[in-house]
Amino acid sequence: MRLIAAILVLTLVAIGAGALAGLHLFAAAERVADAKKSATPPPIASSYAGSARLRKLSPIVTNLAAPANNWARVEASMVTESMSDEDAGILAAHVSEDIVTYLRSASVTQFEGSRGLQHLRDDLTERANIRSSGKIRELIIETLVIQ
């Protein structure tokens, strides 16, 4: 009888200790969750100064050099320094013209794979930078469809 009573007392003590530990862990988890909710995320560092502006170019559709029945459609944006809207519009027209000229002299095999797309992006950015005398920081290719 004493053995059963001892086991019963130990079982009740274990249940009580487990319940207290569980409540303590639950309260600690709630404090951590509340701290994460109230914490503000760190600001995202931009590689561009405050004067940089993203300007969307109109979609460009042109045929490629080889094979002659393939067409390319490019949607791009340019990151520029602060300038008037009129100057930016003129610059965007010149850059679009350069993109058409480049694509008409290119073949489909030049754009195959990720390396081809990276070379296209680098070439177009370099051409835009030269055309703008350094006012365009980057040319971003949003979509490229070749059919």
93-122 pLDDT, tens digit per residue, is 999 999 999 999 999 999 888 999 999 999
Q: Where are the alpha helices (DSSP H) in the chain?
A: 2-38, 85-104, 113-131
130 and 61 fall within a common domain: yes
The boundaries of the domain holding residue 72 are 52-146
Co-location of 68 and 110 in the same domain: yes
Model pLDDT, residue 45:
66
Residue 1: the pLDDT is 85
Q: Is residue 120 part of a domain?
A: yes
Asked whether residue 31 falls in the same domain as residue 79, the answer is no
3-class SS at 147? coil
Could you tell me the two tokens for 128?
A: 């835009």
Here the CATH number for the domain that contains residue 81 is 3.30.479.30
* 98 within a domain of the structure (yes/no): yes
The pLDDT tens digits for 12-56 are 999 999 999 999 999 999 998 888 888 777 777 667 767 788 899
pTM attached to this predicted model: 0.67
pLDDT of residue 34: 86
Q: Retrieve residue 76's tokens.
A: 């791009």
* CA 118 to mean position of chain CA atoms: 16
Strand, helix or coil for residue 25: helix
Domain count, the chain: 2
